[in-house]
Amino acid sequence: MHTWRSILAVATVGVLLAGCGGGTDEPDTPAAAGPWSFKSGNGETVTAEKTPTRIIAHAGEAAALMSFGIRPVGIYADEPVKTDANLKNLDLAGITILGEEWGKIDVEKAASLAPDLIVGDWWPVEKAYSGLEEGVDEKSKKLTELAPIVGVTQGESIADLAEGYEALAKSLGAKVDDPKIAENKQRYEKAVAAFKAATAAKPNLTAAGMSPTDEKVYVANPRYAPELLDFQRWGLKVMNPATPDADFPYWETLSWENADKYQPDLILWDGRAYKDTLNAEFGRKQPTWFEVKAAKAGAVVSWPAYWLHTYGDFATELEKLTTAINGADENIGS
């Protein structure tokens, strides 16, 4: 059975539920050495006699590695690479695309690349790596027969996720202290400082991660949304839903009749489907949406839900959020 994160990765052209730090100017791929080892997100340590060089990676994980100069030979994505938030601005010339739909990986083509490592996030709720969760094509799962798989846990912090891929890249030979590479991390650190200053100036400002769809309204549970946990740590009062869905606690699902159960000052809209006109569109077709006071006031900003992997992308998104916080009203939801 598909999870909501996986189902909505398929529904790219609709409202989704679950960057490019290096841009198109990535550092040179380092030379290999050995022996090599890395402790993966599932707790297992993977070892090899030589440092892997022929890497196949899931979309966001590929972007993370590329931001440190590690260029994979193949990428599998959950949507077209031209629209994938992690990949759309990257130079993918010479990289074989193995899939552009959730759950569908061309394993035969992947085998032709002779990979020596697969990289994907480890999702602790699903107990699976990205693209290999329950519900994917059984043929896709055969990817793990081609090479060992490692990845960083999608846990409690995007900062930790970025640091984890920095560590993986370093183990693969990346010179992470190179000024060209370190620039994105420095920009990220400045963005965090500005975000903290903005929230400190508005200590009573509340926010909620929300994703309206035609059928339901989904309220994000920060416990399973590392971006939102980071925002909480940095001073933004992101609401915790009272009754997350028992079978998949990433969200609390609300009927449209109960859309106004939570009244934040600022709505953090799932950014994978966000566009500036959506708030008004839902206000027209679902009148109860504007019973959420922040929606009625237009106090809405995109939230980078479940896709961030690089320091550069996180910096860009934090800068947008900081601008929204600076312009927000602490009294809308009260």
pLDDT value for 240: 97
Equal CATH topology for 13-176 and 182-327:
yes
Q: Which helix (H) or strand (E) holds 254?
A: strand 251-254
pLDDT value for 2: 37
Q: pLDDT digits over 61-87, tens only?
A: 999 999 999 999 999 999 999 999 999
pLDDT value for 95: 98
Q: What is the rounded distance in angstroms from the CA atom of residue 160 to the CA atom of residue 166?
A: 10
**Structure-token pair, residue 200:** 């400190």
> Which of 86, 36, 28, 77 shows the shortest CA–CA distance to 56?
77
pLDDT value for 30: 56
pLDDT value for 245: 95
Q: Does domain 13-176 have CATH number 3.40.50.1980?
A: yes
pLDDT value for 10: 33
* Cβ contact 311:317 at 8 Å: no
pLDDT value for 22: 38
Q: pLDDT digits over 121-148, tens only?
A: 999 888 999 999 999 999 999 999 999 9
HSE-CB of 43 using CA atoms within 13 angstroms = 2
pLDDT value for 214: 92
Q: Where are the domains of the chain?
A: 13-176, 182-327
Q: Note the pTM of the prediction, 2 decimals.
A: 0.84
pLDDT value for 306: 86
* Cβ contact 226:157 at 8 Å: yes
Q: Which helix (H) or strand (E) holds 270?
A: strand 266-270
> Which CATH code fits 182-327?
3.40.50.1980
> Which of 205, 206, 203, 208 shows the shortest CA–CA distance to 242?
208
pLDDT value for 125: 84
How far is residue 32 from each of residues 36, 51, 66, 67, measured CA to CA in Å? 10, 5, 15, 17
Q: What is the rounded distance in angstroms from the CA atom of residue 241 to the CA atom of residue 221?
A: 6
Q: What's the chain's length in residues? A: 334
> Which SS3 state, helix, strand or coil, does residue 180 take?
helix
Burial class (CB in 10 A: 0-12, 13-18, 19+), 129: buried
Each residue's pLDDT tens digit in the chain (334 positions)? 334 344 344 333 333 344 333 343 455 555 557 799 999 999 999 999 999 999 999 999 999 999 999 999 999 999 999 999 999 889 999 999 999 999 999 999 999 999 999 999 999 888 999 999 999 999 999 999 999 999 999 988 999 999 999 999 999 999 999 998 889 999 999 999 999 999 999 999 999 999 999 999 999 999 999 999 999 999 999 999 999 999 989 999 999 999 999 999 999 998 887 777 889 999 999 999 999 999 999 999 999 988 999 999 999 999 999 999 999 999 998 7
